[in-house]
Amino acid sequence: MLKFVLIVVLIFFVFPKLLKWVLRGFVVSQINKAQQEFQQQYNPNTNTNRPKKRDGQVDVDFVPPKSGKNSDDFNGGEYIDYEEVK
């Protein structure tokens, strides 16, 4: 009987407080991580990875590879008959 009472006390009193403490720590750490990511993304002073550029300068991060087809070989496409339906 004493064992049952101790288990009930643990389940209803100790476990929720322990869970609340652990979840609060997890949420606070996630909020801090999100704040740091936001500051790095939107604050240009802390972003030291990219060099400063002048106004009007354009950076191209991705250039797609050229396909095997040449644009000079294009003959206008396929002709499709058009029939008006009333």
Compute mean pLDDT per 10 residues along the chain, 86 residues long, and list them. 89 88 95 91 64 78 75 71 82
- Residues with Cβ within 8 Å of 39's Cβ and at least 6 positions away in sequence, in order, are 46
Q: How far is CA 69 from CA 10, 20, 66, 74, in A?
A: 71, 62, 8, 9
Phi then psi for 38, rounded to 5 degrees? -65, -45
User: Is residue 59 within 8 Å of 53, Cβ to Cβ?
Assistant: yes
Residue 47 token pair: 């972003």
Whole-model pTM: value is 0.40
